[in-house]
Amino acid sequence: MHLDPFELHRPLSVEETVRLAGQWAGQFDYLAGGTDLLPNYKMHINLKPHVIALDAVAELAGHSLERVGAMERLAVLERDREFLSTYPAVADALREVATPLVRESGTVGGNLLVETRCFFFNQSYFWRASLGFCLKADGDRCHVVPQKERCYATFSGDLAPTFLVLNAEVELAGPDGRRRIPLSELYDARGDGIRRLTTRPGELLVAVHLPPESRSLRGRYRKLRVRPSYDFPELGVAVAGRWEGDRVTALSLALGGVEPYPRRFDELTAPLVGENLSEDRLKALAESVTRAVRPVHNTFLLPDYRRRMVGVYVRRAVTEAKEGTAA
């Protein structure tokens, strides 16, 4: 596999970046660490003639407890002990993204915007050609759920569920200016699965903002994958909460790895706030989340198994978050 030629642009500021984005509208991709984009390019998936590299844009770098720049490397965050102890769910997720080598290049922005995955999509051009391609690249039908309108590729980033339960916001910049939205609104749950984000044309992710209240939450992230040293999540469960004894005073839960977008379950956790989180209530929560998700057969593990594991992982993650159990 080889990379086809493209024109590389290397802006120095956010303003210059979005100007280039306006100029090459629809004909470019942003490049962060490249650990997701470049393997896809090598497989000739949705190639663009222009690539805008973000590594020299100073404003996208660095992190604090309040703000994480989109270009911050996962490995740099992973080495910040204060950040890890403040946000235990994020710490769990960071340690389990890919391999240490990938985390040296991979960035927070790239992780939040990582392309969705499917057994029929993450394949070489020749493999996909032999099957007749699919909706998400070069074709007009889905091989997983046979129809021609919707893609069910799975959102497989580890960080998104953990930032979702911390009520993170994202700062975006585009040809029409800057804005800040809740991370939960970044993912297009009503889209067709191909358009998977609510971003406007050319919009760039500048940073993730974490509200001060999120620092007092106890959290946990539990990930199911085939090879613990390497693989994408087949399921990821993030929890953040506050407890007074057995009484829960704040609770949020989010899942990744099972559907085309990461998803919070506020409608199921909100009624528990103010209650004692007994074994029975926790079991009922786990069962409700299990009923609410619909994995399809496009990753390695069977959807029925992944779905059954949702309940197991929800109970584990909530219990461990409450107890503050170390990973």
Report CA torsion sign: 286, 290, 293, 299. positive
Q: How far apart are the first and last CA of the chain?
A: 38
Torsion of CA 121, 122, 128, 131, to 10 degrees: -60
| Residue 211 near residue 167, CB atoms below 8 Å | yes
- Is residue 165 a contact residue for ligand SF4 (CB under 6 A)? no
Cβ atoms within 10 Å, residue 107: 29
Site for ligand FAD in 1-60 (CB under 6 A): 29-37, 39, 54
Q: How far is the CB of 256 from ligand SF4 (least distance, A)?
A: 16
| Residue 53 near residue 31, CB atoms below 8 Å | yes
Q: Which of 121, 221, 265, 313 binds ligand SF4 (CB under 6 A)?
A: 121
Write each residue from 231 to 270 as x if it is in contact with ligand FAD (CB under 6 A), else as -, in one continuous string.
Answer: xx--------------------------------------
Q: Out of ligand SF4, ligand FAD, none, which partner does residue 51 contact, by CB within 5 to 8 A per kind? A: none
* Nearest-angstrom CA–CA distance, 317 and 76: 25
Q: How far is the CB of 277 from ligand FAD (least distance, A)?
A: 29
**Helix or strand run (H / E) with residue 86:** helix 81-86
Q: In which order are the strands placed within the sheet that holds 28-31?
A: 7-9, 50-53, 28-31
- Is residue 204 a contact residue for ligand SF4 (CB under 6 A)? no
Q: Out of ligand FAD, ligand SF4, none, which partner does residue 183 contact, by CB within 5 to 8 A per kind? A: none
Q: Please report the DSSP string for 138-190 in residue order.
A: B-S--SSS-SSS---PBP--SHHHHHHHTT-EEEEEETTEEEEEEGGGTB-TT
Q: How far is the CB of 297 from ligand SF4 (least distance, A)?
A: 10
| Residue 137 near residue 151, CB atoms below 8 Å | no
Q: Which of 135, 165, 170, 314 binds ligand SF4 (CB under 6 A)?
A: 135
Stretch of 9-17, 23-31, 71-79, 115-123 contacting ligand SF4, by CB under 6 A:
115-123
Query: Please, how many CA atoms are within 13 Å of residue 5, restricted to the half-sphere of its CB?
Result: 1
What residues pair up with 174 in beta bridges, in sequence order?
A: 177
Considering the complex, state which of residue 148 and residue 227 has its C-beta at the smaller distance from ligand FAD: 227
Q: Out of ligand FAD, ligand SF4, none, which partner does residue 54 contact, by CB within 5 to 8 A per kind? A: ligand FAD
Q: Which of 72, 78, 158, 169 binds ligand FAD (CB under 6 A)?
A: 158
Write each residue from 293 to 312 as x if it is in contact with ligand SF4 (CB under 6 A), else as -, in one continuous string.
Answer: -----x--------------
* Binding site residues, ligand FAD, CB under 6 A: 29-37, 39, 54, 70, 74, 97-98, 102, 105-107, 109-111, 113-115, 157-158, 204-205, 231-232
* Binding site residues, ligand SF4, CB under 6 A: 118, 120-121, 134-136, 142-144, 151-153, 298
